[in-house]
Structure 1
Amino acid sequence: MAPPSDDARDSPASTTPIAVKPAAPAPPAALDPVISTWPVVLDPGIPTLPAVLDPVELTKQIGLLPALQWPWGVPQEVRLELLRWHAADRCTLEIAFPAASGWDRVIGKVYATDRPDVYDVMEGLARAGFGPEAEFSIPRPIAYLPSLRLLLQERVEGMPAQKTFKLGDDRERAVAAERCARWLARFHTVAPPLGRVTDVEELLRRSERKRRSMMEEGGALTAKSEQLFERLRAARSALAAVPMCAGHGDYAHNQVIFVEGRTVTWDWDVYDIADPTRDVASFIVTLKRLALKSFGWVRALDDAAEVFLKTYLDVRGCSSVAAHLPFYKAAYCLWEAHWEVKTKRRLGWGERARAMLDEGLHTLDGVK
């Protein structure tokens, strides 16, 4: 099965459940010092979610796994914590269960549609050298339960890259940017290409859909999004044909965790095959949006972005990336502006959308 379209990926992380079932009372701290309780989301768009949230059914399904995949035995008890919910699309949970050394935990992701392909891709990456023992790795895929549409994977404990970019000093940000770049360069070099092909024409089609969506807001956003899209179309003719490679599809600071001796990238829902510049641009532009949200200036993290780009180019030596980067960065600026308009999640979304559109236009200055 191919990964979902970009439009599906755009479904916002919801903060208002469709329906809410009160969580069970928290157990005494002495019995459960690590597991917190959250309201349980009931989403009819994810039909297997009620079964996943049923401890009896979840325990039964996990108990059917072979010991090679699930070495902990049949759980005597499971407790769940909601981590992230995308309405009618997917829901990410932490699943805790008693183990010999206390409470053990894994990450579960339940999908609206059947997604065994995500597990298969993660298995392929592990075999290609991105297993949990590698310096550049992914979370260990544990199992996929088709009856629940549930992916189980390793819970990686470490420092989120996003936290370093938000709270670290310049040196810490530079180290983080270098580690993220080295991970991506390794991935683009050795990972097996799988999934649908996302070429320039597909990227332009998605950009046009986002531009049309933004036109509904009217005002300056309409004019700016139209101007940026037309310049994107004009810049497309300058792009040369390049060898494509495995793509993450959504590579960003919030997809990376730093562990001692290990850099881990997660969230493989939209893997594909693409121009490597696409993933490079995605990381740089999402850093710009983080800078805008956290520091009020779209270029506040540009020093870290420069370290990221220089490291990637030094390691991989792909000359086409530098040549194609303005186009892809401008496209992602349009996409980030669209995200602000679509979700309207925080005060000032209009100003942030305008800033991202302006940055996209600036990125294309000088591109013929």
Structure 2
Amino acid sequence: MNRTESRTQSRQVKERQVDRAARACTPEFLDRYVRPHLGANAPATGGTWTTKVIQLDGTGAATVQVELDGGAPVFAKLFPFDDGPAVHAKLQALRTAGLGAGSAYQAVEPLAWYGEEKVLLCQGAPGRPLSELLGGNGEDLTRACARAGSWLARLHGSELRVGSPQSLLVTGELTSLAKRLAKVAVDHPGYVDSALGMLERLDALTRDTTDGVLAQSHGQYRPIHVFLTEDVVTVIDLDRSAPADPARDVAEFLHRLRLGVHSATGDVGRADRPCAAFLDAYRGALGDMPLRNLRFHWARYILHSLNRKIKTGEADWKDGGNAEFQLYRDEFQRVADGRAGA
């Protein structure tokens, strides 16, 4: 399939998903598929449905948030392909393996899979997402990040293995990095020298990586996916969970945490203590072995994100770089030099 055919297919998938999301918001759909899972306190008929499409990017499952009379939300995930049953089974397995009811560390609860509609219903995670704390009280964020680190250690320390194992080559996503960089270089040829310098540092980090480090991983561990109450940490969006390099999850969380704090406050340094608390909690549970490849994964995330910022024009490398470019360059050097706790 060439690039034009791929774009056409992606556009067609998104168009179908738009139509499916609209149908999932209709009272007929909601009465048939969602109402039976709202609990004994929900009315058998009637009431006011409130719906909101919260994800519809054409690359995966479209997600619709559903509430009846302001009750607890349920999320309908509309899968465009045939991976829905595997995701449903994965969530059930994770909860059975210790991330379920009664635990302080939980995976989101699946309610039902409807094969005829390719829709997975999940209970809304209780509490507030960690991402809402990024611009607030530093102590609250630090405590929350320690709990997020403990949740991830619980997942990585599990003996459960579901999903196809992923090699370091896959989790390292170097082909994805190469594709984005190639596209950026075509439009911004002056950026190539800076990019090549960072690639040389990344290449040096690959020589210290270790193959065969596997754990049951999340696949998209981000502050926005971590929900907290006083007693429970619940994590959502485990669709991509599989046996993989655990350091990838750690790197993604820390990368997004630091950039999120910078975006919310203008000071990336305010993320230092929360990052340290996350790593301390994780290491306290599992030690250093799962983090053998952390510097490589973390540096790769930063470079990949910088390439996107160059593409959008937010980061400019010319004349020493604007503030956005300097932020990413400094973050990259900090990680590559081993000054980030990695």
TM-score by length of 1: 0.76
Partner Cα separation in structure 2 for residue 221 and residue 300 of structure 1: 29
What is aligned with 2:79? 111
Q: Which has the higher mean CA deviation after the structures are superposed, 136-145 or 158-167?
A: 158-167
What amino acid is the match of 1:227? G
Partner Cα separation in structure 2 for residue 103 and residue 235 of structure 1: 50
Question: Is 1:327 the equivalent of 2:296?
Answer: yes
Partner Cα separation in structure 2 for residue 285 and residue 263 of structure 1: 20
Contact 1:250-1:279 at 8 Å conserved across structures: yes
Q: 1:81 aligns with which of 33, 42, 52?
A: 52
Structure 1 118/73 Cα, relative in aligned 2: closer, same or farther at 3 Å?
A: farther
Structure 1 353/133 Cα, relative in aligned 2: closer, same or farther at 3 Å?
A: farther
Q: Which runs of 5+ in 1 are unaligned?
A: 1-6, 12-17, 19-41
For 2:157, what is the secondary structure of its paired residue? Answer: helix
Q: 1:197 aligns with which of 165, 177, 193?
A: 165
Deviation at 1:341, TM superposition (A): 4.7
What is aligned with 1:279? 249
Structure 1 199/70 Cα, relative in aligned 2: closer, same or farther at 3 Å?
A: farther
Partner Cα separation in structure 2 for residue 110 and residue 353 of structure 1: 37
Structure 1 87/205 Cα, relative in aligned 2: closer, same or farther at 3 Å?
A: closer
Contact 2:76-2:121 at 8 Å conserved across structures: yes
Partner Cα separation in structure 1 for residue 114 and residue 315 of structure 2: 39
For 1:86, what is the secondary structure of its paired residue? Answer: coil
What is aligned with 2:156? 188
The Cα RMSD (Å) is 3.1
Contact 1:55-1:79 at 8 Å conserved across structures: no
Q: Which runs of 5+ in 2 are unaligned?
A: 1-5, 317-322
Q: Percent identity?
A: 21
Deviation at 1:191, TM superposition (A): 5.4
Question: Is 1:316 the equivalent of 2:290?
Answer: no
Question: Is 1:294 the equivalent of 2:267?
Answer: no
Q: Which structure's residues are more often helix, by fraction?
A: 2
Partner Cα separation in structure 2 for residue 104 and residue 320 of structure 1: 37
Q: 1:97 aligns with which of 51, 68, 77?
A: 68
Partner Cα separation in structure 1 for residue 157 and residue 283 of structure 2: 12
Deviation at 1:145, TM superposition (A): 1.8
Partner Cα separation in structure 2 for residue 354 and residue 74 of structure 1: 58
5 Å-filtered alignment, 1:28-107, equals: 44-46=15-17, 48-62=20-34, 76=46, 78-87=49-58, 89-97=60-68, 103-107=71-75
What is aligned with 1:216? 186
Deviation at 1:231, TM superposition (A): 2.6
Contact 2:80-2:118 at 8 Å conserved across structures: yes
What is aligned with 1:177? 145
Contact 1:139-1:264 at 8 Å conserved across structures: yes
CA offsets 1:96-128 (integer angstroms, 9 cap, x no match): 235xxx744312222322322211111111111
For 2:301, what is the secondary structure of its paired residue? Answer: helix
What is aligned with 1:227? 197
Q: How many residues align?
A: 319
For 2:184, what is the secondary structure of its paired residue? Answer: helix
For 2:270, what is the secondary structure of its paired residue? Answer: coil
For 2:211, what is the secondary structure of its paired residue? Answer: coil
What amino acid is the match of 1:245? A
Question: Is 1:250 the equivalent of 2:220?
Answer: yes
For 1:137, what is the secondary structure of its paired residue? Answer: strand
Deviation at 1:135, TM superposition (A): 0.3
What is aligned with 2:319? none
Moved over 4 A (4+): 69-75
Structure 1 338/247 Cα, relative in aligned 2: closer, same or farther at 3 Å?
A: farther
TM-score by length of 2: 0.81
CA offsets 1:208-233 (integer angstroms, 9 cap, x no match): 22322332341554433333233323
What is aligned with 1:152? 121
